[in-house]
Structure 1
Amino acid sequence: MITTDEQEELRRTVRALLERNPPARPAPDAEPGYDKTAWRLLAEQVGAFGLAVPEAYGGAGCTAVETHVVCEELGRALTPVPYLGSAVLATEALLACGATDPLPGLADGSRVGSLAWAENGTWDPAAIRAHVEDGRLTGVKDHVLDGAHADLFVVPARTREGGLGVYLAEASSPAVRIEPLVTLDRTRLQARVTFDTAPVRLICADGHRVLERLIAVAATALSAEQLGGGERCLEMTLAHVKTREQFGRPIGSFQAVRHRLADLYVLVESARSVSYDAAHALAAHAPDLAVRAATAQAYCAEAFSAVAAETIQLHGGIGFTWEHEAHLYFKRAHSAAELFGDAAWHRSRLGPVVLGR
């Protein structure tokens, strides 16, 4: 079974909340921002931001599967809230490091945490060049999710000896400079963060261990968002082909269109299988988690991109307009396919594991 009855009830609750409070879509000339209503309701009525946080620190003490369900629904609605960056990545990083003092604020949604990780366009730990000397961090981090609204940053950086540690930095420090980025996907907020000898606190000396888990966490959670987006694209397309007519009949009645829709259905359902397989592996701390997470990310990224492209095509001219939602899913699909490493990078990580090297 992919989900339990309780997890399905969580899904229904989150979906109903988001349907009652649909996000305002970004206008071409508007500054992108969060949906503060959805953010507040998810925090207060669902406790979504604290699902992964132990009860001792104000959370619900749930498994990765519950978080996965929420990520799927947020990806389905493209709701701009600081969930993936704060409730998933920053929270998991703090838990992996045993740094529990910031968790209550993240769990109730009153504070935003951000994992400042990527450098020079890559999430490969070997590429990290930010470094710490005498408790001061210097370096530049790219593609920082929710960085422009963060209260604190969890930052992997090199130690004086060349090892990899994980540090905690306050966003309010004058030595931290935050630059919001203009990206293809305006429903996902990113920033570039520059640390200019910023004061930091070491929270874990074994950064390689933490980042290996965080790569799996990020890949798994992102696959849930991609699954949700693919589901919604398929739903929109099915509704459209039932009402759009050519030659006096709905285009969905033509065999060629039906074949294309069947292919999309297979992609979405296959994505569901691999995505939830990774979520269960994450929840169980499975020894083959790296393989299952990389597989989920590689497959779901390509599946969502294919489904979103077909959604544009099968909607015809309206699918290319700003007024229709199809373009938002297309942009999310292609930008998410590069987030945390593209499909080729995740497959390259699979090779040595599968071959036993």
Structure 2
Amino acid sequence: GFAAVAVDATRPFGVADSVRADESGALTGRVATVLGAERAKLLVVPATGADGTAALYLVRVDDPGVTVEPRRFLDPSRAAADVRFDGVAGQRLDIEAATALEDAGLRGAVLVAADALGAMDRMLRLAVDYSKQRQQFGVPIGSFQAVKHAAAGILVSVEAGRSIAYYAAASVDLGLDDRAIHAAVAKAQVPRNAVQAADSALVMHGAIGYTWEHDLHLYYKRAKLDEKLFGGPGVWNERLARDLPLLPAAG
């Protein structure tokens, strides 16, 4: 089995007060929307101690104090669960929680951006192939200017997304000073463009694109979820504005 990180998949990684650790290391609390929790054997749980310090704890999913409640996504290829801890004995990990979560969060942001890029690229290929086969008024719909423009728009997003995601991945992997900014750009831009591309690809397919039998819905749903995972574009754009900095100083 594998270990899942017990963080809410709708927000950026971080230590929240949703799980508390007492003096003995027993964990109590609840974390919503944990990716992979329903299949994991172990959980890495961020928790706040009685003294206010954050730490990471390793917990076995089959511990009697752990309750896993599966959730369903629009994207059927991925699943999550709400996890509750009731006095669970956790093994404290000898690593600095905030630093580890920051690094994992940046890697997660880049991986989701790369996933959205792959979905976007596949939707472009599906849409272009379909536009060559589907005929209207006796000619392939790919010969119509509106369809060409839609395909070109997706292509621009794919190539721009490739540059953004690849650079962000290299930056995070190499530990560059500006890696947080690069990851934020990737997470803010690429999944959002993938959602727009998904809508265009759906229009290019017409009615068949709405059917379960056609593969387009798999990538369409994947792009929709990627935009929301670990925070939507607004969250990451605010982080960019803070780090660059573009926001006025507090106070």
Instruction: Give TM class, smaller chain.
Output: over 0.9
CA distance in 2, matches of 1:137, 1:234: 47
Q: Which amino acid aligns with 1:341?
A: G
Indicate whether 1:351 and 2:241 are aligned: yes
Please give the secondary structure, in 2, of the residue aligned with 1:193: strand
Q: Which amino acid aligns with 1:130?
A: V
Partner residue in 2 for 1:198: 88
CA distance in 1, matches of 2:17, 2:110: 22
CA distance in 2, matches of 1:166, 1:292: 26
Indicate whether 1:320 and 2:201 are aligned: no
CA distance in 1, matches of 2:218, 2:13: 28
Q: Which runs of structure 2 are paired with 1:110-189 in the superposition (5 Å)?
A: 111-118=1-8, 121-123=10-12, 125=14, 127-133=16-22, 134-189=24-79
Residues 119 and 219, structure 2, Cα contact 8 Å, conserved in 1: yes
CA distance in 2, matches of 1:197, 1:127: 17
CA distance in 2, matches of 1:265, 1:203: 45
Deviation (angstroms), 1:127: 4.0
Residues 28 and 86, structure 2, Cα contact 8 Å, conserved in 1: yes
Please give the secondary structure, in 1, of the residue aligned with 2:212: coil
Tell me the TM-score normalized by structure 1: 0.66
Deviation (angstroms), 1:186: 0.8
Tell me the TM-score normalized by structure 2: 0.94
Please list every run of 5 or more consecutive structure 2 residues that lacks an aligned counterpart in the other structure. Answer: none
CA distance in 2, matches of 1:303, 1:213: 24
Q: Which amino acid aligns with 1:174?
A: P
Residues 114 and 154, structure 1, Cα contact 8 Å, conserved in 2: yes
Q: Which amino acid aligns with 2:89?
A: P
Deviation (angstroms), 1:124: 5.6
Q: Which runs of structure 2 are paired with 1:84-103 in the superposition (5 Å)?
A: none
CA distance in 2, matches of 1:185, 1:275: 22
Figure out how many residues of one structure are paired with residues of the other and give that number. 246
Partner residue in 1 for 2:122: 232
Identity of aligned residues (%): 35
Structure 1 moving runs of 4+ over 3 Å:
121-124
CA distance in 2, matches of 1:271, 1:249: 32
**Cα 1:118–1:204, aligned 2, differ >3 Å: closer, same or farther?**
farther
Please give the secondary structure, in 1, of the residue aligned with 2:228: coil
Residues 119 and 220, structure 2, Cα contact 8 Å, conserved in 1: no
CA distance in 2, matches of 1:204, 1:250: 62
Residues 185 and 335, structure 1, Cα contact 8 Å, conserved in 2: yes
Deviation (angstroms), 1:147: 0.6
Q: Which runs of structure 2 are paired with 1:185-334 in the superposition (5 Å)?
A: 185-204=75-94, 206-334=96-224
Deviation (angstroms), 1:256: 1.5
The structure whose residues are more often helix, as a share, is 1
Q: For 1:68-121, what per-residue CA distance to the aligned partner results, in whole angstroms no more than 9, with x for missing partners?
A: xxxxxxxxxxxxxxxxxxxxxxxxxxxxxxxxxxxxxxxxxxx211011128x5
Residues 18 and 31, structure 2, Cα contact 8 Å, conserved in 1: no
Deviation (angstroms), 1:204: 3.9
Please give the secondary structure, in 1, of the residue aligned with 2:93: strand
CA distance in 2, matches of 1:196, 1:123: 25
Please give the secondary structure, in 2, of the residue aligned with 1:322: coil
Residues 118 and 128, structure 1, Cα contact 8 Å, conserved in 2: no
> How large is the Cα RMSD of the aligned pairs?
1.5
Residues 114 and 153, structure 1, Cα contact 8 Å, conserved in 2: yes
Residues 167 and 204, structure 1, Cα contact 8 Å, conserved in 2: no
